[in-house]
Structure 1
Amino acid sequence: MADLEELKRKRDQLTAKIQQAEARQRANAKKADDRVKVLVGAAVLHQQTQSTDKRAALLALLDGFLTRPAERLAVLGKDGQGSEAFKRLVGDAE
């Protein structure tokens, strides 16, 4: 009977180690995904802000894409023409 209990204990330990390894793997994958999103976003921001026309097109795209009020405010600002942070990033701070 003691052997059975020992085997169950080892199984539980192994299950916990597997769950920890899977959680680390998911966290690493999310970090990699987030890094790609940031870099792609930076490239698009850079490319789309080289002219006034492109900047206006980017604002129009973001206006259609952003749905959460807090995100819209953070990116588009109150007037929809770009928040102060957006303007700093595109080199258009007032």
Structure 2
Amino acid sequence: MRDDRLVTVEITGGVMPPTTFPLLPRALDSLWSALQFRPLSRPQWLWFERYLTGPCAERVVAEYLNYTGPLSLPVILPEGVHHLRIDWAPPGDVR
């Protein structure tokens, strides 16, 4: 499934500033790159690995965005709770 819409992602707290990508798979890769070496709990690390890089990651996230709207998930780090956010960019946004 390829959804050729711009997607904006961020991880709050300075982990990853809001960034817009031309394709969802690139956005998911970028989120995983920002998280994979952070001190996450093992269950949290495994969950993010599966849902950002797994074989169905793109489809699952695209369906969520299409049917439910913006996705916001807590990211628990030693310094506190941050939020991973994914949403389709508004029409007219330019990368």
Higher relative contact order (CA 8 A, sep 6+): 2
Which of these two proteins has the greater Rg computed from alpha carbons?
A: 1
Asked if Structure 1 and Structure 2 have the same fold, meaning a TM-score greater than 0.5 normalized by the shorter chain, the answer is: no
Of Structure 1 and Structure 2, which has the larger fraction of its residues in strand?
2
| TM-score when normalising by structure 2 | 0.32
